[in-house]
Structure formats: structure tokens, C-alpha cells
Structure 1
Amino acid sequence: MSRYGHGLVLGKFYPPHTGHHHLVRTAAGRCRRLTVLVCAASVESVPLTDRVAWMREVHPEVRVVGTMDDIPVDVTDPAVRDAHMAVFRAAVPEPVDAVFTSEAYGGELGRRFGAVSVCVDPDRIRHPVSGTAVRNDPIGCWDFLESPVRAALARRVVVVGAESTGTTTMAAALAEHYRGRGGVWARTRYVPEYGREFSERKLAVLRAARPGAEWSDVTFASEEFPLIARRQAELEEEAARTGSPVLFCDTDAFATTIWHERYMGGPYPAAPEPRTQHLWLLTDHEGVAFEDDGLRDGEHLRPWMTGRFREELARTGRRTVELTGPHEQRLARAVAAVDALIDEGPHFADPLPERR
């Protein structure tokens, strides 16, 4: 089997899937060095920077570069092909010894680069998937996606609410409900509230120094809340990479800003974390008995907290559904809202049309 000096893999990777990764790995195994060129058009809805980052994460051993290519696609027009080549050459000016593709245009592309054309799995036998198939049905193609793309496409649902209003119960029940659907949904996960783990540790440290200390003896510092929010966001991202097309979160970084108000009595001390979630479920305090589990002391604050969540969710334009009534009613309303979100799905704009 021939081994080449500098190889090239070129594509849109809109989005990247296992077929793309097989192509890159095959090329990397046959070249001393490999360049992957990611080409994006302005009409497409996944930014070039994201696609480059995804490919670099999955293939750290190769060089990945990106370029914008808004030239119309017309395989019959030599002038159009020349214009595309100018874009490719500007992005990859070095000599290329071999071009690896799975497409019919591979021979012409190799000729124009003055390189050998190597065709890899053109009939999609090893990986029966395409970018078009993923864009049309991301859920149906979920198993063909690597973790960074799954994390980007997963619909993230956050359950928020005041103390002892059933946020943990609801997040866990939703995850269990969707796991019960089987198939790709069997991997549905939920992310616990990191703030609770943080609080348990603070109480344990205090009791080690002062046996018999109670939750009311624990104090917080304002600067601790951004740390809690950041770790919550990290746990959410980790779970989104390995789960199903929907992820449930018991609170999020946004909710931490309200908890800061509750404990510190003032505004959050840092810029908010970037928004990655898609739906917020607000658990009402009405009709839910307050349970003191050793880390709660704010029964009298529940109406205020519910109101603050409601106000801030509306002010920041977050898609919100309020959950009221008994648990079964809340769960049914939540499932209906999540199903609607899933049905909408992640939307991909159409790529530039191909003229023939």
C-alpha cells in the first residue's frame, strides 16, 4: 500500500460523522502528515469555528484548517471549479501528494492539486451515513456522531425552582421516562445539582471542626457561586457528550444567580455562563410540602424564589413551562413540552444548492 508525504482531506463536515472520521483516519494512516480542510458557506447554520474545533478534538494528530467558500456549486462549469480551487489553494498552499475522498469528484480534485486521488468507501459500506442524512434526521443518525457533535445537538432541559419544590424528583423522572423509550433514548441522562454536593462538603468540613454544627451555621462567600456555576456547566457538558438526544439538568448556571440572591442578598458577582440550554421547567412551590433534609431552611422564602425565577426567566427570554399541581400532572406537562422541543429538533440550514 502506497504511503504519501502530504495528504489532504477536504469537505464541509456539516456536521462531521463517522464516515468523515473513517476517511480522515484512513488518510492519516497512509500519509506522513495530513491536512483536513473544512469548507463552510455563509448560508449554513453551523459556524466554521465549531466544525474546525470538532474535527481537531476528534483528530488531534492531524492539522485541521478552515475556510469560507461561498462560491456556487456547479460541477459542469470549469470557471466555477477554478474559483473553488483558488479558495482551497489559499487555505492549503503547500504541495499535496494525495487527496482522499469518498466522492465522485475525487479524481478531478486530485488532478487539479497535481496529486494522487484515493477513494475511500465510496459506497458507504463501512459507515452508511452522509451529511445530508444527519441534517435531515439527527436523532436517527445519533450513533454516527462523535461526542462533541452530540453535545452540540442534544436538547438540554433544565428544571429550576425554589427549595423543596421537586426539581430533583422531576429531572430524575424525566430521564427515566425517556430511557424507557429504548433505542437511542436508553442513554438519556440527568445532571444532579452540583450546588448541593458543594453544600454537603461545606457542612462536613464545618462539622469536622465543630461537631454538632448545623446547616444554619454554614456561611457562603459571594465568589463561591461562580465556581458552583462553572462546575455545573462542566458536568452538563460532560453528560451531553455521552447521552441521548435529550439531557435533563437539575438546575443550571443561570439558576445559580438566583441562589446567590437568596443567600447573599445581592446581584451575582460575575458574567453569566454562555447559554447552552433550550427549555426551562419551573417547579411551583404551591401544593408541595416543604421537607427539611438537613440542607434547607428557606420555607418562608419559597414564594419569593418562585417569583424571582419567573421574573428572570421571562426577562432573559428563556423558553419556560411552569409545572403545577400533583407530580403526575407536572410530569405529563413536562413530557409534552419536551416532546415538542424534540420534534422541532436542531435545525440545519440548507447548504448551497448544487447546479448541474
Structure 2
Amino acid sequence: MTYAHGMVAGKFYPPHAGHHHLIGTAAKACDRVTVVVAGSTVESIPLALRAAWLREVHPQPHVDIAPVVDDHEIDYGSEDAWTAHVAAFRSGLSSPVDAVFSSEAYGPELARRLSAEHVAVDPPRERFPVSGTAVRDDPIAHWHHLAPPVRGYLARRVVVVGAESTGTTTLARALAAHFASRGGVWASTRYVPEYGRIYTEEKLAAARRAAGSGGRELWLDDIVWTPHDFTLVAERHLALEEAAARAGSPVLICDTDAFATALWYERYLGETAPETLHQHNDRHHLWIVTDPSDVPFVQDGWRDGESIRHHMSARFREELDRRNLPHVVVTGRHEERLATAVTAVEALLDKGWSFSPPLTPRSLTPKRTDQGDSS
């Protein structure tokens, strides 16, 4: 049967595979579908962000995502509560609906109040045994039920930073490989390379092409750096992070980030970097600083020199302390550094995820009416 206008309603806190199955089922059965994202202001994932995730996963032109604020008390046995919630749902609808798609026990009563037919979609949740509560309680256990944008939001991002030739790249790669070797959900653990190095190579190559073959070959000291260069590096590195986080495991390992780029801005331009370069610090959860001690300096032709290693290492620590960003300093041989880093990441993961609790129903029993439902 094809319906003219179907509705799906929920908190989507956060969206998961069961939600997507519900919306997909409605989309196949209706000429139009309105997905009412009824979020409360007490919830910690912004309503607009949940709506954006759903629009990305369900881009069909006949599926409309309608976020509405619903702070009303949840009490399925209260007439006043029902009236308030239905009014909130109606505010997201551009026209009446003739079908309500739901996996919830309250679905039939909601459909009746909207003068619509109720379409039950896998009420026992056998196809996708997951719920928003289960995801909030243990995102790792339900990682496979989450769409890429939700994974990108929830992934714990660990950044390895340090002065030149202090083993940052070696450690970042080893750390990602360590977690990937655990298999299961961790097998897709990603490593994000330092984009600044890539950009430097591209910038030098471009300068050499522009100079032509008549004269000495240009090298690093001939490159002119501008604030715009550092902004580009930070933005493009973040884009690589986003792509990796969406496709990866619950932890993402990054070789440097915008925080590090800001300190290299200071080093090469001789002035404090704008705060805009630090605006993504809240996307990262742990910084691992590679100390220069016990690591011999290796000049690969792309580095400033050994003389600034200790100065830059000190600046990383100072700035992390000043901004009160969680970090750990690793020293010793590579094996010791890796062990310290693994312990720090495990401690981060053991803390779990923090979600503000949603509004709690006062009555779990849907209101019963003499009329029954219209399904």
C-alpha cells in the first residue's frame, strides 16, 4: 500500500540503524515522509546536528527532516501530556498525515490522535537489536549500528604532537596499528598523516615549477609562508580527520592537528597564531607529546635543525598546560613510548561517553482509549 504522507517521530538521540530502517521503510511506502526529530533542551547532542545527520543519511527529495523542540513531560497515561506532544509533532508537519510508522508501543495511540493509520515496523527489534539508550550506554558495542556522521562525532580523537624528529609519525602509526590489531570493531582504526608535510612538499614543488630551470634549485629556505598557508593546512588536515573518523573505529589517531599548526605558525611567522586555528581543539580528546630525549635527530632534508627541538617541545607542553588540554608526555625507547601512549588511550576509552539523560517517562504504559487505534 502507498500512503500520501507518512510520519516518523523520535528523539534520534543518537540516530542508529533501527531508526534508518524505520525511515527507509516509510520512504518506500509513502509519497512523502516527514521525520519529526523531537529533541529536548536537556539533551547534549544538539537538535540541529541530529537533523543534519538524518538529512545526510536520507537525502531522498520526498523525505523531509523536521526538528522540533519538545520539552513536555513524558507521561503516556496523561491526557495533558499527550495533547502537548501531539501539538509539538504537528508543528513539524506541513500537512496532515495518513500513516504513522513506529516501532514503539505508543505508536497506535499517536496514530489515532493524528487520524492516521499505524504501521508497525519490527516492534521486537529483531532485525536491528539496538536503541538510543543502548547506544548511549555503550557506543562501542553498537558501533556497527551507527552511520558515518555519528561515528565521526563520537570517535575519540587522539593527537600525537612534538618537535621535529621526535618520533611523532612513528608513534602515531604504531598506536593506530596496535588498536587495529585487536580486530573486531577496532580493526578499522585509522591513522591520519601530517598534512603540513604534504603541503610543504607541494608548495616547494610549485615554487620550483614557477622558477623554471634557469638558476639554482629552490629549497625550503626559499619558501615564503603566509597566514593563509597555515589556515589551509589546518582546514585540510581537519577534512582528512573527518573522513577517517567517519570510516574508522571508536578511536582515531592523528599525526599533529590545528593546535600543532598554530605553534608552527608562531615558529615560521614570528607572531602568535590567531585563535581561529585553535577552534577545533574541542574535537580532540587527548594529546600525546613526544619528548626529544632519547631520540637522535635525523635530518631528512625537510627539517629546520636540531637546535630548536627542545624549544618547540617546551612550547607544546606550555601551550597544552595553558589551555588545560589533556595530555601525556612520552619518553624513553619506542617500545616504552608506545606502552605509555596505549595506556593513556585505554584510560580515555575507559571513561566512556557522557550524554545528558533525556526526559524520563513518568508512565511507561501508553494511554488506552475506547476507540482503539486506526491500524
Q: Same fold (TM over 0.5)?
A: yes
Aligned 1:164-243 pairs, distance under 5 A: 164-208=165-209, 209-210=212-213, 212-243=217-248
Once the two structures are superposed, residues 107-138 of structure 1 have per-residue CA deviations (whole angstroms, 9 ceiling, x without a partner) of 10100011111111111122111111111110
CA apart distance, 1:151: 0.4
Partner residue in 1 for 2:103: 102
Partner residue in 1 for 2:302: 295
Aligned Cα RMSD in Å? 1.4
CA apart distance, 1:271: 1.6
* Residues in 1 aligned to 2:40 and 2:54: alpha-carbon distance in whole angstroms: 17
CA apart distance, 1:327: 1.2
Per mean C-alpha deviation after superposition, the further-off stretch among 343-352 and 157-166 is 343-352
CA apart distance, 1:270: 6.2
Per mean C-alpha deviation after superposition, the further-off stretch among 37-46 and 336-345 is 37-46
Aligned 1:315-330 pairs, distance under 5 A: 315-330=322-337
* 8 Å Cα contact 1:226/1:270 also seen in 2: no
Partner residue in 2 for 1:28: 27
Seq. identity, %: 56
CA apart distance, 1:148: 0.4
CA apart distance, 1:241: 0.1
CA apart distance, 1:223: 1.7
Partner residue in 1 for 2:343: 336
Structure 1 moving runs of 4+ over 4 Å: none
Once the two structures are superposed, residues 296-330 of structure 1 have per-residue CA deviations (whole angstroms, 9 ceiling, x without a partner) of 12321111111111111111221111111211111
Give the paired residue count: 355
Partner residue in 1 for 2:160: 159
The runs of 5 or more residues in structure 1 that have no matched partner are none
* Residues in 2 aligned to 1:270 and 1:42: alpha-carbon distance in whole angstroms: 29
Task: Please tell me the residue identity of whatever aligns with 2:124.
Answer: D
CA apart distance, 1:69: 1.2
Per mean C-alpha deviation after superposition, the further-off stretch among 260-269 and 158-167 is 260-269
* Residues in 2 aligned to 1:64 and 1:298: alpha-carbon distance in whole angstroms: 54
* 8 Å Cα contact 1:216/1:297 also seen in 2: no
Residue 253 (structure 1) aligned with residue 258 (structure 2): yes
Aligned equivalent of 1:310, options 309, 317, 337: 317
Per mean C-alpha deviation after superposition, the further-off stretch among 282-291 and 110-119 is 282-291
CA apart distance, 1:212: 3.6
Partner residue in 2 for 1:18: 17
* 8 Å Cα contact 2:299/2:305 also seen in 1: no
* Residues in 2 aligned to 1:297 and 1:355: alpha-carbon distance in whole angstroms: 64
* Residues in 1 aligned to 2:305 and 2:117: alpha-carbon distance in whole angstroms: 71
Task: Please tell me the residue identity of whatever aligns with 1:255.
Answer: A
Instruction: Tell me the SS of whatever aligns to 2:227.
Output: coil
CA apart distance, 1:70: 1.4
Per mean C-alpha deviation after superposition, the further-off stretch among 185-194 and 69-78 is 69-78
Task: Please tell me the residue identity of whatever aligns with 2:169.
Answer: T
* Residues in 2 aligned to 1:316 and 1:164: alpha-carbon distance in whole angstroms: 25
Once the two structures are superposed, residues 85-105 of structure 1 have per-residue CA deviations (whole angstroms, 9 ceiling, x without a partner) of 121122225211111101111
Task: Please tell me the residue identity of whatever aligns with 1:156.
Answer: R
Once the two structures are superposed, residues 243-282 of structure 1 have per-residue CA deviations (whole angstroms, 9 ceiling, x without a partner) of 0000000000111000111111112256223231100111
Partner residue in 1 for 2:37: 38
* 8 Å Cα contact 1:223/1:269 also seen in 2: no
Instruction: Tell me the SS of whatever aligns to 1:355.
Output: coil
* Residues in 2 aligned to 1:159 and 1:53: alpha-carbon distance in whole angstroms: 30
* 8 Å Cα contact 1:154/1:240 also seen in 2: yes
Partner residue in 1 for 2:280: 274
Residue 147 (structure 1) aligned with residue 151 (structure 2): no
The runs of 5 or more residues in structure 2 that have no matched partner are 364-375
Task: Please tell me the residue identity of whatever aligns with 2:308.
Answer: L
* Residues in 2 aligned to 1:299 and 1:125: alpha-carbon distance in whole angstroms: 61
User: TM-score normalized by structure 2?
Assistant: 0.92
CA apart distance, 1:196: 0.4
Instruction: Tell me the SS of whatever aligns to 1:34.
Output: strand
Task: Please tell me the residue identity of whatever aligns with 2:359.
Answer: L
Task: Please tell me the residue identity of whatever aligns with 1:75.
Answer: Y
Per mean C-alpha deviation after superposition, the further-off stretch among 323-332 and 144-153 is 323-332
* Residues in 1 aligned to 2:28 and 2:56: alpha-carbon distance in whole angstroms: 18
Residue 60 (structure 1) aligned with residue 59 (structure 2): yes
* Residues in 1 aligned to 2:59 and 2:324: alpha-carbon distance in whole angstroms: 38
Residue 89 (structure 1) aligned with residue 90 (structure 2): yes
User: TM-score normalized by structure 1?
Assistant: 0.96
* Residues in 2 aligned to 1:81 and 1:174: alpha-carbon distance in whole angstroms: 51
Residue 262 (structure 1) aligned with residue 261 (structure 2): no
Partner residue in 2 for 1:244: 249
Partner residue in 1 for 2:372: none
* 8 Å Cα contact 1:164/1:290 also seen in 2: yes
